[in-house]
Amino acid sequence: MPHPQPISYKAATAGELVAHIWPEARVEDEVSLAGDASSRSYARLRLAAGGAPTACIVMYLQDAAVAISTEELGGPVGPGQGGETAFENVARFLDSISDTAPRIYGVAEDRSLMLLEDVGDTPLWEACARPGPSAESWFARALDLLVALQEGAAAAPQATQRDCLAYAHAFDEKLFGWEFDHFIEFGVDRASAGEPLLRKAGAELRALAARLAGYPRVFCHRDYHAWNIHVYQDRLRVIDFQDALMAPALYDVASLLTDRNTPERIDANTEHRLFSRYFESAIKHGVLKLSRDEAGRVFELCALHRSLKVVGRFNYLAEVKDKRGYLAFLPFTIATAKRFAARVSGIAAVNSLLAEHVKCPSVNR
């Protein structure tokens, strides 16, 4: 059953927002949580009395204009109805097709903060390391959920789709190209590479962008990986979906199976089995209409694109945002980029950049 729609309230603090939603409740404490690469920050509120849950998550939006935009798209994505953020908009859409998104209890009128259902502290990545089901079985569940989300999104009424901001934006040639350029700009030692090689690599990547943009698109989380899927009360819950858009069906599969240091849990043979599981299910449920060979090629291109984009992004976060923690993942991400680049024909210059000129600074510097 869909959750009730959240109401916006005039509130400058999390305590004020709690008081609006649960007038008899009290906040016992607030504990900051690990953040991500965005302008958002999070804390857990412990609540008591007044019909409130025992805990909820407060999401602070440091800059609402940033929080409802993506740099790649060149400006704000939204706002939607009543000035809602992309997070609210996509959460509402997901709520109409599944029970995976955390419930939004309430939102400050100025969109500076919102209170969310607490879906725990155990990302899929950590669940894989605990006694019990294997990493492969956890990732298989995540792929089954992905097929269900793709199928539910495709079956949603057209009016519901039109109301979702994800359907207004697509991974088109321009966006794929922007992210490839991000790799060239921040992920490569441009001085050592030299302009002739950079130009050749740029041309190769523009051709790949055009190729990727030509594949059929489905609803795409865009950051569907083992840190954005939480295991809570033996259910999978999906977070950080505010950048959802339309993209090739294999994009989220590539994100899940190859992101960051995922190869530590999912080796090449396991990756192949999980890809097969997704392919067979996606064909059965009608969300994929490609041959097995073509789907494999799209998966490889999406994995290459995403790993190159991440190499650029993590270097950008370190150099421009002074967020150096992500540099620890660069060796894994570069290895993934090299692995998939070796499978793609016509990108000799890109392979040269990866072999000799990719940037991999130390996280401890």
Average pLDDT score over residue span 234-251: 97
Residue 206 and residue 89 share a domain: no
273 inside domain: yes
Confidence class for position 78, pLDDT limits 50, 70, 90: very low
Our measurement of the distance from residue 300's CA atom to the centroid of its chain's CA atoms, rounded to an integer in Å, reads 18
Lowest-pLDDT range, 2-6, 52-56, 234-238? 2-6
Q: Which residues pair with 237 in a beta bridge?
A: 230
H-helix or E-strand containing 117? strand 113-117
Average pLDDT score over residue span 156-161: 98
Which pLDDT score is estimated for 36?
Answer: 64
Domain final position from 70, 92, 117: 117
Residue 241 and residue 280 share a domain: yes
pTM passes above 0.85? yes
- Give the tens place of pLDDT for each residue, 322-344: 999 999 999 999 999 999 999 99
Report the distance separating Cα 87 and Cα 173, nearest Å.
25
Average pLDDT score over residue span 241-266: 97
Residue 76 and residue 145 share a domain: no
302 inside domain: yes
Residue 216 and residue 81 share a domain: no
Average pLDDT score over residue span 46-55: 94
Average pLDDT of the residues of the chain: 92
Report the distance separating Cα 354 and Cα 343, nearest Å.
14
Average pLDDT score over residue span 99-122: 95
Confidence class for position 2, pLDDT limits 50, 70, 90: confident
CATH number, domain with residue 90: 3.30.200
Coil, strand, or helix at residue 66? helix
- Number of helices (H) and strands (E) in the chain: give both, helices first: 14, 12
1 inside domain: no
Residue 107 and residue 143 share a domain: no
Lowest-pLDDT range, 12-26, 68-82, 288-302? 68-82
Residue 283 and residue 146 share a domain: yes
Residue 159 and residue 46 share a domain: no
**Minimal CA–CA distance to 129: which of 266, 246, 232, 12?**
266
Average pLDDT score over residue span 359-364: 84
Average pLDDT score over residue span 114-139: 96
Which pLDDT score is estimated for 38?
Answer: 64
Q: Name every residue whose Cβ is closer than 8 Å to that of residue 78 and which is 6 or more positions away in sequence.
A: 68, 69, 84, 85, 86, 89, 165
- Would you say residue 167 has pLDDT above 90? yes
- Would you say residue 175 has pLDDT above 50? yes
Average pLDDT score over residue span 271-286: 98
Report the distance separating Cα 263 and Cα 45, nearest Å.
35
Report the distance separating Cα 353 and Cα 203, nearest Å.
13
Q: For the chain, what is the domain count?
A: 2
Using a pLDDT cut of 70, give the percent of the chain over it: 92
CATH number, domain with residue 201: 3.90.1200.10
301 inside domain: yes
C-alpha to C-alpha distances, 299 to 177, 223, 256, 305, 348, nearest whole angstrom: 17, 15, 11, 10, 20
4 inside domain: no
Cβ atoms 343, 300 nearer than 8 A: yes
Domain final position from 93, 117, 141: 117
Residue 260 and residue 204 share a domain: yes
9 inside domain: no
Average pLDDT score over residue span 212-236: 97
Residue 136 and residue 83 share a domain: no
10 inside domain: no
295 inside domain: yes
Which pLDDT score is estimated for 6?
Answer: 82
Encoding tokens for residue 225?
């990986």
Residue 197 and residue 101 share a domain: no
Using a pLDDT cut of 90, give the percent of the chain over it: 87
Q: Quote the crossing angle between the two packed helices 173-186 and 195-213, to the nearest 10°.
A: 150
Domain that holds residue 83: 20-117
Report the distance separating Cα 317 and Cα 330, nearest Å.
12
Average pLDDT score over residue span 243-253: 98
Residue count (the chain): 365
Which pLDDT score is estimated for 68?
Answer: 35
Which pLDDT score is estimated for 116?
Answer: 97
Residue 194 and residue 164 share a domain: yes
Which pLDDT score is estimated for 351?
Answer: 98
DSSP letter, residue 101: S
Average pLDDT score over residue span 134-144: 98
Domain final position from 71, 94, 117: 117
**Minimal CA–CA distance to 192: which of 330, 359, 306?**
359
Which pLDDT score is estimated for 37?
Answer: 60
Report the distance separating Cα 287 and Cα 294, nearest Å.
15
Coil, strand, or helix at residue 247? strand
Residue 160 and residue 229 share a domain: yes
